[in-house]
Chain A
Amino acid sequence: MTSLEQTISEMGHALETLRALAAKLATKKDDPPNSEDLKIWSNAESLWRRLPELRQPFGQRLTAAVAAERATGARSVIARLAGTELARLAEKHNPLILVLNTRLLGTWVTLLRGLNIEDQVFLHNPGDRPDNAQWRAESVADWLRRHIETHPEWALSAVACRGGFLGPVTCGTYLATETMWSDMAHAPISHHSNLALAIVQRLRDSGLVEQDIPVAVTDPVACDELDDVERLTGFAPLLRDGTGAHYLNHRGCHHLLSSFLMRDPAQLTSVTIHLGAGTSVALHRGGLVRRLVDSFSGIPSANRSGALEIGPVLQSLKKGDFDLKELDEAVFRSGGLMSLAGTDDFEAFLGFRQAGATSGQAKKIDAFVDMVARRAAASVGALTAGLDPDPPVLVVTGPLVRSPMFRSRLLKEFGTAFPVVVMPGSVENEALAAGALRALFHPATCKDYPQERSEVARRRDAVRRMWETTIFERPLRYRVPGAPVTGIDELIDSAYMAVRGMRLPTMAIVGAANEAAILAARYANERGRYRLARFLLVDDYESVSSLAYDFDLVVDGQNYAIEDTEDPVAEAVRLLDEGRVDILMKGRLKTEEILRGVFSYLKRSGRLKKGQVVSHVVTIDIPTRSKLVLITDAAVNPYPDEKRKIAILENALTVASSLHIPTPKVAVLSAIESVNPSVDSSLEARRIAERMAHRTDCLVEGPLSFDVAMDADVAAEKGYKGRIQGDADILLMPDIDAGNVVYKALTTQSGATVAGIILCGDMPMVLTSRGDSARSKLASIAQAVKLWHELSLAQP
């Protein structure tokens, strides 16, 4: 037992012990820990991380350990990334491996013998011609040819290359297959990472690479392991797909960290932050990159703007501050540091801070560094939200963290929230080499590209379908209860509000073997937040069943049940008598057939009181009008006398009250807006207005012409002096002809939506027809249900 173990053992992992230990370690924080130290760390890792004051020393010691090992060369890193068995095989067989890592500015080419680098070069892109695979391949071929000429006995055993925008797959090592070559030839995005496979293809064609040696692709850019929730956005057509991050380096760092902590990578949770020409942040959990902040969703990079707030972007686009092309440039090519500082070279940028920057420029540089650091910290916060209480280990990597200034600023941002391990540069080449060893010695453990591609596609599709699941087919807006209902949608919503938590009424569809009625019944319970009613489908069993089948109505015996009968009206009356039905709805039968049948019931049961009439009220939502208008009577009472008209008006006022219309304005219509003895309807309209003049719950005026009642400009133009100036709420029609003509004219010619009911005392009856839109059908039921609730509550 070492002294350190002894210490822990003796003090039983007590907090005080660890704190003391931390203090001890902090005094020699830059010394690399020895292997025994590492073993102890590994065993006590979660405890280390749990104590805020221990996190920094823990991170510092790990940073020192990793740095010390990397300083000895790539060998040990490759060995760690490949694992013990593959490293042993590599050392035993010493295969010659070509590693190609295509970067933005050139290609890293590495020749590896076993675990040792024979030679390595960064072949710069010449600036005088566009980047492509052909000339990159030529320069690699030249370099390779020189080695082969020098060592004719050399034979490549495997090739490792960076994978670009393949079909999205999970992370891991893949053997290049025909499918993969084909996918790469049709990559959806042009990117330097795509070029490695194309280079290999050309090297094969030229004979420099044998056709039958394995070509390994590890952690391509187009990996995608996001969990389902991470894919979601607030805008259904745009789902996040997880591709386009520095998976090779992220995963390499995570695996390296796991190795140092002697943990299975699948058991370790970490966050890796890659800061370079591009930026991305990845959460590793359960061996997968489950959460990700990529270049577009987070931190600005050398030439990308990073996440932008979409609202201001849209406003600026609308205002013309910049156009779509400029935005595209900023997001993909010349945003970020390039647009802010005129360089995409962070080193130059930060170096300029120390030499030559004015105070104003220095301030901007500092602000930029602050911004990047803060965004990086915010990204980590976003990725680690809701995780275990133990904070994950953070790895900060990428070329940018080579800068001490930037590094210290960044570490300051994290404070003691996480243990932070710094791994400047990248381990991409080493990770590719480890992948090649896997492909060479354990090809069976390589992943199957088509299979993984299908699996990712399936998962994406499943999430997309889930996210596209319809919940409310019609937008449902919040309204304050009791507010005046000004549109049909509001009417429907207010009905939903009315039924919330209340007993659902039972609606009998009289003659239910009718398309429109069946559809209306379906809409009533499928289009909103709550079900509106239970439906009894009163008609011939076979006919109703057949319709229910055709229109996907779920006859479950609860929400929808069939009442098998050959006489729907008689059956409906029986159901009313038995109290099994609250509301009637017209099906295939004519309105008068139903009314004739139920009239005696209404009288007998006292539901239609003396003086009350059965009348039709249609609520109309005209697109050009800011409020609803009620028309009565367009369907039931053909030529009512004055007394009957007042009773009809009372019914309309009941409906208006249900719509919370304050002091409804009632226009008693005639052909003209002044009394003319030769126009009977004008005389009658005046008498009605006079008889209703004492009412304070409504304002009744007449005679009014339709245009004066409905159009303020016309009212003004005609010099109408009344209080209704084109803003009538109720139009009391002179007769059924006028009522029906106006109703049909509005619905067919002005795009109006209607809700039609017949008020039978305290029982509404719903009318729908095939010509009604789905919205109208739903609105009619909604209005009846709302009214029924209110009238039921009003009962003593």
Chain B
Amino acid sequence: MPSDDSSGSRPLPADLSMLASMDQREYLTWQAETVSDKEQYWTRASRLVEWRQPFSRILPTHSEIPWDGWFAGGRLSAIDNCLVRWARGTHGQRIALRTFEQGHWTECSYAQLLSDVTKAASLLEGPVTPGDLVAIVMDGTRASVTLMLAAAWTGAVSVPLSSRLSATALAQRVTHSEAKLLYLGELPIPKSLPHHLADTTYPRILGADGRQQGSAVEFSDWIATAASRLSPPGREELKTKDTGSSENPVAHIFEARDPLLWVYANAASERPRVAKIRIGGFLVQAMDYHRILFPKIAADSEDESLILAMDSSAVAALAQGVWASLCLGWTVTLAPWRADQVSALSSCPADLSRAVLMTKPDTLDAIRTWAANQGAAVRFRQITCTGLTLRPKTVKTCSHLVSDGPHRITNLWYQTEAGSGLVATFPFEKLNRPGALGLPLPAVEAQVIDDLGNTCGPNEGGLLTFVPPWPALTYPVPGQRDRFYNLHFSLIEGQFSTRDGVRRDEEGFFWFMRRIGSEVTVDGISVSTLEVESVLTHQGQVKEAAVLPIQAADGTRLAAFVVPSGQVSNPETFKETLRNHVRETMGSSASPTLIVVTSALPRTRSGKVVRRLLRRLLIGDFSEGEDLDHLANPQVVSDLVRAMEKPQ
């Protein structure tokens, strides 16, 4: 491991006492230092991870994939880090995982979890080999987490899937990933699963009880049942292993750049986007940020607890809620997160007032409503929202749910492909503004860029971008490289473009303004309009494109306004070419029904495409003589009106 020379730089706020006393200006000064010396920062952070073999280099080299190769040469075990290190000694009896299943809370200690994982891992060996994919519906059960850890034990890659996925979407992902094993939990078996999973002689689909859906069984029974289903023909005895002491480790040792997870980005797409998360960078960044985002009660506290009340297949949930929490020895409570289920918190054995609640704003609203109906006051130590915009009003109305003022309600911004949260508010008064996205996390260079590529001034709205690299940044799976690059790295040279429109205030806090483009459901399939635009503009014949949903007689369809990069000799052929291109890249549901060829798109002076105007043009809600003074190119509107009048 490279030497750590800390001279001349301010120390990492190891116990966070430094963060607690900083104001935002001091934080940003320190944060800028971490950006300017990412190597030093991540060297320090890497010490949180137990390495089986030290890495020889921290930062990736400048190669074709600039973020590839963090912690090169390093080798580590996922299980060492999240279980083995805690299962030893007295901490082994501490509760590692608490879940709510079949109307009851169940708990298991670190020692027990390690034992379960070991057993489950022995089941997997055979059907699953290192590098294979294991699809797991993250339904908040002990089984789902155990299987994910067991997959890591064997060196397999988990594909966490949301329990909200439709049967079609679920089948698509499982088919797409070519998973060797599928854990469905309570979900029914989709009809269109690939043949090899449905093989009756060697079944690879596990349900909640391993035998039939819906019946409650003890977890050990589940393991046994699962074992009997998974044992290959001729393999009669369940292979049980020792609980894996550090002296005799048996868990798989990963290279730092090996994938730990496959994460799907869009909800239910025909050709879903998926990215790989590499274990080394993921664990380092998740653990480091966990300490910063969720400061412990006391520096030496060993009784730390996080309640995860959100979809545990989301990257932020996986990173902070599950993996980093376990790696840091916290108790993880997977709480029901649907509005009608949050009342389960009433019987939760966890001491809420000492726990960090990690949730989404809509779930928080439900918890507020539930709390209002409770006789006694409900308070959490800290609430961290992620996934959706945390509105200022939500902070205001929920401030009674935290013990020490509204600054204890924080926000964490993440995006699936980013592999980590990158912007957050902190549970300190000076480092939090109600409703703000937050400040960039250490060693993260965040910017606001307008559509012309210029850096926005204070409070000017623009696209949130990040300058790579950071350790957890995902990378594309084979076959999706261009798609990944086009969507995230083509808009602004060398920067990771998100799909979020934000502003940064004078103090340096980022504020969410709007999501650029939208996720539209076409024929039950989710399509990102921004991705369709990206696919169109990388087709070669299109300079600019704006894609919007339209309501047709047969449901939602897409309309595309395209600016050709050259002369179009035959508009109909041109449009058909574009439709085919999108169809081939993203699937037929993403192919625009209506294509309007135009000379330019209406833009504001900062270069934003005025989609509202396009939308109104599409539905005929536009009249000549309207105020177009805000446009940089108002003359284009009459062109558009003429183009719309032609038969499409």
List the interface of chain A (C-beta within 8 A of B): 473, 515-516, 519, 522-523, 541-542, 545-546, 548-557, 562, 564-566, 770-774, 776-777
Say if the beta carbon of B459 comes within 8 Å of chain A: yes
Cβ of B588 < 8 Å from any Cβ of A?
A: no
Contacts of B198 in A (CB 8 A): none
Q: Is the CB of B627 within 8 A of A774?
A: yes
**B513 lies within 8 A of A522 (CB):** no
Contacts of B610 in A (CB 8 A): 550
Known: A550-B610, A550-B611, A564-B393. A545 touches B630 (CB 8 A): no
Q: A542-B389, A545-B511 are in contact. Are A556 and B627 (CB under 8 A)?
A: no
Given contacts A545-B514, A549-B514, A552-B605, contact A770 B612 (CB under 8 A): no
* Cβ-defined contact, A771 with B629, below 8 A: no
- 8 A-B pairs with least C-beta separation: A774-B629, A549-B513, A546-B514, A549-B461, A564-B393, A556-B459, A549-B501, A545-B513
In the bound complex, residues from chain B placing their C-beta under 8 Å from that of A516 are 627
Enumerate chain B residues within 8 angstroms of A552, measured Cβ to Cβ: 460-461, 604-606, 608, 630
Taking A548-B461, A552-B605, A564-B393 as contacts, is the C-beta distance between A772 and B513 under 8 angstroms?
no
Q: For residue B460, which residues in chain A have a CB less than 8 angstroms away from its CB?
A: 552, 554
Give the total of B residues in contact with A, Cβ under 8 Å: 32
A541-B604 CB under 8 A given contacts A519-B627, A564-B435: no
- Chain B residues contacting A557 (CB-CB under 8 Å) are 459, 505
Q: For A556, give its contact among B389, B458, B611 (CB under 8 Å).
A: B458
CB-CB under 8 A from A549, the residues of chain B are 461, 501, 503, 513-514, 608
A-B contact pairs, 27 of them (CB 8 A): A516-B627, A519-B630, A522-B630, A523-B629, A541-B391, A541-B393, A542-B391, A546-B514, A548-B513, A550-B610, A550-B612, A551-B604, A551-B630, A552-B460, A552-B461, A552-B630, A554-B461, A555-B503, A556-B459, A557-B459, A557-B505, A564-B435, A771-B625, A771-B626, A774-B627, A774-B629, A774-B630
In the bound complex, CA of A551 to CA of B612 (Å)? 10
Judge if B512 is at the interface, Cβ distance under 8 Å: yes
Q: Is the CB of A554 within 8 A of B393?
A: no
A564: which B residues are within 8 A, CB to CB?
391-393, 396, 435
Q: Which residues of A contact B435 (CB under 8 A)?
A: 541, 564
B623 within 8 A of A: yes
Q: Which residues from chain A contact B506 at a C-beta distance below 8 Å?
A: 556
The B604-618 residues at the A interface (CB cut-off 8 A) are: 604-606, 608, 610-612
Additional 15 contacts, C-beta under 8 A, given A541-B391, A545-B511, A554-B459:
A473-B629, A516-B627, A519-B627, A523-B629, A542-B391, A549-B461, A549-B501, A550-B608, A551-B630, A553-B461, A554-B503, A556-B459, A564-B396, A564-B435, A773-B629
Q: A770 touching B626 by the CB < 8 A rule? A: yes
Q: Which residue of B lies closest to A515 (CB)?
A: B612
Residues of A within 8 A of B459 (CB): 554-557
State A112–B224 Cα separation when bound (angstroms): 104
Q: A546-B513, A550-B612, A552-B608 are in contact. Are A565 and B627 (CB under 8 A)?
A: no
Can you list, as one digit per residue, whether each of B351-393 has a CB less than 8 Å from chain A (1) or not (0)?
0000000000000000000000000000000000000010111
Contacts of A523 in B (CB 8 A): 629
User: In the assembly, what is the distance between CA of A515 and CA of B615, in Å?
Assistant: 13
Complex CA–CA separation, A552 to B612 (angstroms): 13
From 452 to 505 in chain B, residues with beta carbon under 8 angstroms from any chain A beta carbon are 457-461, 501, 503, 505
| A550–B626 CB distance below 8 A | no
Enumerate chain B residues within 8 angstroms of A777, measured Cβ to Cβ. Answer: 627
Cα distance A771–B629 in the bound complex, in angstroms: 12
Closest residue to A560 on the B side, CB-wise? B459
> Roughly how many angstroms separate A776 CA and B625 CA in the complex, as a whole number?
12
- B435 to chain A minimum Cβ distance, whole angstroms, is 7
* Chain A residue at minimal CB-CB distance from B503: A555
- Cβ contacts under 8 Å, B605 to chain A: 552
Contact call A541/B612, Cβ cutoff below 8 A: no
B133-178 contacts to A, CB under 8 A, are: none
Closest Cβ neighbor of A523 among chain B residues? B629
- Return the contact of B623 from the options A541, A565, A771 (Cβ within 8 A): A771
Minimum CB–CB distance for B467 against chain A, Å: 22
- Determine the distance from Cα of A723 to Cα of B604 in the docked complex, in whole angstroms: 50
Choose among A549, A552, A557 the residue with the greatest number of B CB atoms under 10 Å from its CB: A549
- What residues of chain B lie closer than 8 Å to A473, measured between beta carbons? 629
Chain B nearest CB from A125 CB (Å) reads: 47
Give min CB distance, B202 to chain A, whole Å: 50
A235 to chain B, nearest CB (A): 23
B627, A770: Cβ atoms closer than 8 Å:
yes
| Chain B 612-648 per-residue mask, 1 if CB under 8 angstroms from chain A, else 0 | 1000000000010111011000000000000000000
Tell me whether A565 and B393 are in contact (CB under 8 A): yes
A474 to chain B: closest residue by CB: B629
CB-CB under 8 A from A522, the residues of chain B are 630
Give min CB distance, A549 to chain B, whole Å: 4
| Cα A773 to Cα B623 with chains together (Å) | 12
The digit string for B116-127, where 1 denotes a CB below 8 A from any CB of A, is 000000000000
Chain A, Cβ-Cβ closest to B433: A557
Which A residues are in CB contact (< 8 Å) with B608? Answer: 549-550, 552
Docked CA distance A556–B506 (Å): 8
Is A773 touching B627 in the complex (CB atoms < 8 A)?
Answer: yes
Q: Which of A550, A565, A773 is most buried by chain B, counting CB atoms within 10 A of its CB?
A: A550
| Contact residues in B for A555 (Cβ distance below 8 Å) | 459, 503, 511, 513
Residues of A within 8 A of B511 (CB): 545, 555
Bound-complex Cα distance A134 to B459 (A):
63
In the bound complex, how far is the Cα of B630 from the Cα of A519, in angstroms?
A: 8
A487 to B611, CA, bound (A): 34
In the complex, what residues of B have CB within 8 A of residue A774's CB?
Answer: 627, 629-630
* Chain A proximity mask over B594-607: 1 for CB below 8 Å, otherwise 0: 00000000001110
Cα–Cα distance between A562 and B435 once the two chains are bound (Å)? 11
Task: Name the residue on B nearest A770 (C-beta).
Answer: B626
CA–CA, A554 and B459, complex, Å: 5
Q: In the assembly, what is the distance between CA of A519 and CA of B613, in Å?
A: 13
For residue B79, give the distance in angstroms from its CB to the closest CB of chain A: 42
**Whole-angstrom distance between the alpha carbons of A168 and B313 in the complex?**
62
Distance to closest chain B CB from A605 (angstroms): 26
Q: Which residue of B lies closest to A551 (CB)?
A: B630
Cα distance A523–B459 in the bound complex, in angstroms: 17
Residues of chain B in range 500-533 having any CB-CB distance to chain A below 8 Å: 501, 503, 505-506, 511-514
CA of A23 to CA of B315 in the docked complex: distance in angstroms?
A: 92
CB proximity of A190 to chain B, nearest CB, Å? 34
Distance (whole angstroms) from the CB of A159 to the closest CB of chain B: 44
Residue of B nearest to A555 (CB): B459
Q: Which of A545, A566, A773, A776 has the most chain B CB atoms inside 10 A of its CB?
A: A545
Beyond A545-B512, A549-B501, A550-B610, whether A772 also contacts B627 by CB under 8 A is yes
Residues on the A chain within 8 Å of B513, using CB: 545-546, 548-549, 555
Cα separation A515 to B612 with both chains bound (whole Å): 9
Note all chain A residues with C-beta closer than 8 A to B396.
564
| Complex interface: chain A residues within 8 A of B626 (CB) | 770-771
How far, in angstroms, from A545 to B461 measured CA to CA in the complex? 9
Q: State A515–B631 Cα separation when bound (angstroms).
A: 13
B612 nearest in chain A by CB position: A550
* A566 and chain B: residue at smallest CB distance: B393
In the complex, the chain B residue whose C-beta lies closest to that of A559 is B459
What separation, in Å, do the CA atoms of A550 and B511 have in the docked complex?
15
| Nearest chain A residue, comparing its CB with the CB of B456 | A554
Q: What is the distance, in angstroms, from A572's C-beta to the closest C-beta of chain B? A: 15
Measured CA separation A554–B626 after assembly (Å): 23
Q: Which residues of B contact A562 (CB under 8 A)?
A: 392
Report Cα–Cα, A564/B501, bound state, in Å.
18
Closest to B391 in A: A541
Q: How near does chain B come to A776, taking the closest CB pair, in angstroms?
A: 8
Q: How far is the CA of A473 from the CA of B605 in the complex (A)?
A: 13
Q: How far is the CB of A286 from chain B (nearest CB, A)?
A: 32
* Whole-angstrom distance between the Cβ of B569 and the nearest chain A Cβ: 31
> How many whole Å from A412's CB to the nearest CB in chain B?
57
Closest to B462 in A: A549
